[in-house]
Structure 1
Amino acid sequence: MSTQLTAIEVLRQSTFGQRTAEEELEHLSRYFVETEHWRRVFDGAVDIVYGPKGSGKSAIYSLVVKNESVLFDRNILAIPGENPQGAVAFQSLRDDPPRDEFEFISLWKVYILTLCGKAFKDYDLRSENCQKVVDALEQADLLPKSFTLSKALKYALDYVKNLGRRVESVEGGLNVDPATMIPGVTGKISLREPSAAAAKLGAVSIDELLQTANSALREQNLTVWILLDRLDVAFSNMPELEASALRALFKYYLDTKQLSSIRPKIFLRTDIWRDIVKNGFREASHLERTLTITWRSEDILNLVVKRLLSNSAIVQYYEVDKDAVLARADKQIDLFYRVSPRQVDSGPNKPDTLKWLITRTSDASKAAAPRELIHMLNELRNEQIKKLERGDKVPPEQQLFEQTSFKDALPMVSQTRLEQTFYAEYARLKPYVEKLREKRATQSLQSLSELWDISEAETSTIVADLEEAGFLEKFGKMWRVPFLYRSALDLVQGAVESQDEEVPTSV
Structure 2
Amino acid sequence: MAILEVLRSTNFGQRVAEEEVDSLAQYFVETDHWRRLFSDEVDVIYGPKGAGKSALYSLLVGRKTNLFDRRILITVAENPRGATAFRALEADPPASEREFIALWKLYMACLVSVTLDDYGFAGDQAKELREHLRANGLLATNNLQRILISAFGYVKRLLRPTAVESSHCLDTVSQTSTITTKIIFGEPSAEQSAKGMVSLDHLLTLGDKALADAGYKLWVLLDRLDVAFADSPDLEQNALRALFHVYLDLQVLRNLRIKIFLRTDIWRHITTTGFREASHITRHLTIEWNRASMLNLIIRRATQNTTILGHYRENKDDVLSSTSKQEEFFYRLFPLQVEAGSRKSNTLDWILGRTCDASKQTAPREVIHLLNALRDAQVRKMEIGESEPEEGHLFSRAIFKGALSEVSKTRLEQTLYAEYPAMRVYIEKLRNENTQYSVVSLARIWNASHDAAMEIARELCTIGFFEERYDKNGAIFWVPMLYRAALDLVQGASE
Superposition TM-score tier, normalisation by shorter sequence: over 0.9
1:191-230 matched pairs, under 5 angstroms = 191-230=185-224
In 2, are the aligned partners of 1:325 and 1:331 still within 8 Å (CA)? yes
TM-score by length of 2: 0.95
Residues 390-434 of structure 1 show CA distances to partners (whole Å, capped at 9, x for unaligned) of 222211222101111111201110000000000001100101100
Q: What corresponds to 1:505 in structure 2?
A: none
Q: What corresponds to 2:89 in structure 1?
A: 93
Q: What corresponds to 2:153 in structure 1?
A: 158
Once residues 140 and 211 of structure 2 are traced to their aligned partners in structure 1, the CA distance between those partners, rounded to angstroms, is: 22
Once residues 175 and 209 of structure 1 are traced to their aligned partners in structure 2, the CA distance between those partners, rounded to angstroms, is: 19
Q: What corresponds to 2:27 in structure 1?
A: 31
Of 9-18 and 315-324, more deviation after overlay is shown by 315-324
Once residues 27 and 412 of structure 2 are traced to their aligned partners in structure 1, the CA distance between those partners, rounded to angstroms, is: 26
Once residues 72 and 125 of structure 1 are traced to their aligned partners in structure 2, the CA distance between those partners, rounded to angstroms, is: 14
The structure 2 residue matched to 1:267, chosen from 258, 261, 269, is 261
Distance 1:335 1:112, change over 3 A: same
Once residues 208 and 438 of structure 1 are traced to their aligned partners in structure 2, the CA distance between those partners, rounded to angstroms, is: 61
In structure 2, stretches of 5+ residues that fail to align are: none
1:35-54 matched pairs, under 5 angstroms = 35-54=31-50
Distance 1:343 1:102, change over 3 A: same
1:391-410 matched pairs, under 5 angstroms = 391-410=385-404
Of 329-338 and 470-479, more deviation after overlay is shown by 470-479
Of 61-70 and 31-40, more deviation after overlay is shown by 31-40
Once residues 452 and 167 of structure 1 are traced to their aligned partners in structure 2, the CA distance between those partners, rounded to angstroms, is: 50
In 2, are the aligned partners of 1:91 and 1:234 still within 8 Å (CA)? yes
| 2:2 partner letter | T
What is the deviation of 1:202?
2.1
Q: What corresponds to 1:14 in structure 2?
A: 10
Q: What corresponds to 2:487 in structure 1?
A: 489
Distance 1:412 1:316, change over 3 A: same
What is the deviation of 1:198?
2.7
In 1, are the aligned partners of 2:114 and 2:140 still within 8 Å (CA)? no
What is the deviation of 1:177?
7.0
Once residues 332 and 454 of structure 1 are traced to their aligned partners in structure 2, the CA distance between those partners, rounded to angstroms, is: 50
Distance 1:70 1:183, change over 3 A: closer
| 2:485 partner letter | S
In 2, are the aligned partners of 1:471 and 1:481 still within 8 Å (CA)? yes
Residues 353-390 of structure 1 show CA distances to partners (whole Å, capped at 9, x for unaligned) of 11110111100110110001100000000011112112
Other structure's SS at 2:392 match: coil
What is the deviation of 1:234?
0.6
| 1:276 partner letter | I
Once residues 179 and 185 of structure 2 are traced to their aligned partners in structure 1, the CA distance between those partners, rounded to angstroms, is: 16
What is the deviation of 1:99?
2.4
Of 383-392 and 359-368, more deviation after overlay is shown by 383-392
Q: What corresponds to 1:438 in structure 2?
A: 432
What is the deviation of 1:101?
2.2
Once residues 105 and 277 of structure 1 are traced to their aligned partners in structure 2, the CA distance between those partners, rounded to angstroms, is: 17
Once residues 336 and 193 of structure 1 are traced to their aligned partners in structure 2, the CA distance between those partners, rounded to angstroms, is: 62
| 1:103 partner letter | E
Once residues 75 and 434 of structure 1 are traced to their aligned partners in structure 2, the CA distance between those partners, rounded to angstroms, is: 53
| 1:136 partner letter | H
Q: What corresponds to 1:341 in structure 2?
A: 335
| 2:31 partner letter | T
The structure 2 residue matched to 1:318, chosen from 312, 336, 340, is 312
What is the deviation of 1:167?
5.7
Q: What corresponds to 2:117 in structure 1?
A: 121
Once residues 50 and 338 of structure 1 are traced to their aligned partners in structure 2, the CA distance between those partners, rounded to angstroms, is: 35
Once residues 453 and 178 of structure 1 are traced to their aligned partners in structure 2, the CA distance between those partners, rounded to angstroms, is: 69
The structure 1 residue matched to 2:469, chosen from 456, 469, 475, is 475
Q: What corresponds to 1:504 in structure 2?
A: none
